[in-house]
Amino acid sequence: MSKIKKINHVAILVENIEDALKFWRDSLGLELDHVEDVPSQASKVAFMPVGEGEVELVQPTQADSGLTKYLEKRGEGMHHLCLEVTDIVGKLQEMKEKGVQLINQEPIDLPGRRMAFIHPKSANGVLVELYEIIDEPV
């Protein structure tokens, strides 16, 4: 049975990472680790470690992406909460058996990790991402 290990990150959707860093880095004092392009998610992400987790600033990179539509509809703010799990395939199966509405039926493989989203309709309006850190590419 898959276990939830920790909160991996909280993702904040922003129009512009450089503008957002004026608060998160310059005013609040979080340290920027790095910025990464994530073409598979049509985004650019700034990673700022906080304890065992991270705050991630997510900027859409395509005008027709889901992130851009979300930003246009809801504006900047919290986008999703990410929970790190020990076995994402097992956790998705558990969720399916419990009738949870999933956005991703199977995990998406990315370098060093696998991810999947749970629909906000099943999580009290919160978009939840599940993450499994992997040592070897899948």
22-28: list long-range contacts, CB under 8 Å, 24+ apart: 24/48, 24/55, 24/57
Q: pLDDT, tens digit, for every residue of 109-125?
A: 988 999 999 999 999 99
pTM of the model: 0.90
Determine the average pLDDT of the residues in 27-34: 98
Digit-coded pLDDT (tens) for 3-16: 999 999 999 999 99
* Per-residue model confidence (pLDDT) at position 1: 85
Determine how β-strand 113-118 pairs with β-strand 4-13.
unpaired
4-133 topology per CATH: 2,3-Dihydroxybiphenyl 1,2-Dioxygenase; domain 1 (3.10.180)
Q: Is pLDDT at 73 greater than 90 in this prediction?
A: yes
As a whole number, mean pLDDT of residues 28-49 equals 95
Q: Cα(77)–Cα(20) distance, rounded to whole angstroms?
A: 11
Tell me what pLDDT residue 136 has.
Answer: 58
- Distance CA(98)–CA(134), nearest Å, equals 26
Domain residue ranges in the chain: 4-133
Q: In the β-sheet with 4-13, what is the strand arrangement from edge to edge?
A: 34-38, 43-50, 53-60, 4-13, 77-85, 128-133, 113-118, 108-110
